[in-house]
Chain A
């Protein structure tokens, strides 16, 4: 017998006790003990978020601020997106890149006027902060915010519930944010999320996180939602899960994230290039560097869930790709997946076979999102 490896103890979010009180099933996730589902179950939680409003604890995610007059220009050297011209109050999706153009993490950032407020994935936050400090720590202050909790309130009735507690929040539109007062404290709220629904992400001091969650759960529209439904909602919305659908081995172009690369950073733009991996990424964008594989959406033509790592074959049985996320979409009632396929198989309508337990399951390349987004754009 060999000595067991000692895993570090799981961290707890400010809502840990509340999750237990609500009967959540807790699992290890990104180094934290997190609720995967509550007694209502994944399906009910998924449908509740699509129909009303779901409250998610996403306090495991990393929050940090980049401050100083050079922060935006410095941050632009790490990401292929337009930071410098982002107006105050606006939020944008960004990608940290390796020098080869692979994706270190995906993130959201807001220009708050006097700083950039950045939210990164929980499992990546330690590495992200080290990377940002190493590359631009001499040009701006990189300030982690470990004393902030993060709640996401998602769904078509999220605004009805939240504006009762935080008047004025209904004035925000998709991908904007602002500071709001609540119960003597300060919240920073953005109108965004990761479910494809209208909704909000609320950064709150850890000392107020539980009280705010309880106040939200007391609203008739709101139910607690676990990581299980968060995953099925984001997949239906066509959104990437870092570690599954994107990683350091995929570039933004292979991942189909071209929409996130504003013109100003592309070849011919006023601030073209200047980010890690730029020659490869810009080459893939203009066609001078081949894109061997692309991320696509797939819908199964039989009712068999097709999971991550499932091999995809052409009609002749040759491997042409692999599934990176897959499940039975609760809103659609049919199996959906994301996959990387050879570029020749990436057009909507193309048929491939997924090899599930040795049996071919026919799938068709589909446009994403699988469920239409319902963001509030004013």
Chain B
């Protein structure tokens, strides 16, 4: 299992050879506050790395969710759509956003590992 992190505060988890799971980090949900709405990507659509694939909104603010890697969305978390607060209560688990079939696994390589992201998030405002 590999988990990588983007500078935009998404995490992407690769397990076995299946699609990777994407969500927002503990730091991101904490900065946003209470999440009240998520806009999830279309299943079956292909996104380029860095494209806006969704939106997460707290009562106060909205933030884009970026695609960490190029690939096709295979599934979205309907439970999160129904209960956006899962992004706060379990951001790395039940609060996942979508699954993506990677077009180019090498794109994962330059993303941050947990230690590097921990340092990055500590310094992020």
Residues of A within 8 A of B (CB): 36-37, 41-43, 46, 228, 231-232, 303-305, 307, 327-328, 330, 357
Contact = CB atoms under 8 A, between A and B. Distances in A.
Contacts of A231: 60
B36 A305 contact: yes
B59 A330 contact: yes
B33 A42 contact: yes
Contacts of B34: 41-43
B60 A42 contact: yes
A274 B46 CA distance: 64
16 contacts: A36-B60, A42-B33, A42-B58, A43-B34, A46-B59, A228-B59, A304-B37, A304-B39, A305-B37, A305-B57, A307-B62, A328-B36, A328-B37, A328-B57, A330-B59, A357-B55
Among A43, A232, A303, the most chain B Cβ lie within 10 Å of the Cβ of A43
Nearest to A359: B39
B33 A37 contact: yes
B39 A328 contact: no
B62 A228 contact: no
Contacts of A36: 60
Contacts, number: 36
B30 to A, nearest CB: 9
B33 A357 contact: no
Given A42-B33, A42-B34, A304-B37, A328 B59 contact: yes
Given A43-B36, A231-B60, A304-B39, 5 more contacts: A228-B33, A228-B59, A305-B37, A328-B36, A357-B55
Main secondary structure of the interface of B (DSSP, over half): strand
B121 to A, nearest CB: 15
Nearest to A45: B34
A135 B39 CA distance: 51
B60 A327 contact: yes
Contact of B60 (A228, A303, A304): A228
A330 B57 CA distance: 13
Interface in B28-75: 33-34, 36-37, 39, 55, 57-60, 62
A304 B62 CA distance: 11
B79 to A, nearest CB: 15
Contacts of A303: 37
Contacts of A327: 59-60
B87 to A, nearest CB: 13
A226 to B, nearest CB: 10
Contact of A42 (B39, B59, B62): B59
Contacts of B59: 42-43, 46, 228, 232, 305, 327-328, 330
Contacts of B39: 304, 357
A42 B62 CA distance: 15
B107 to A, nearest CB: 25
A56 to B, nearest CB: 16
B63 to A, nearest CB: 12
Nearest to A25: B33
A41 B32 CA distance: 10
Among B36, B37, B39, B57, the most chain A Cβ lie within 10 Å of the Cβ of B36
User: Which 8 residue pairs are nearest across A and B when measured between Cβ atoms?
Assistant: A43-B34, A328-B36, A305-B57, A41-B34, A42-B59, A228-B60, A42-B34, A42-B33
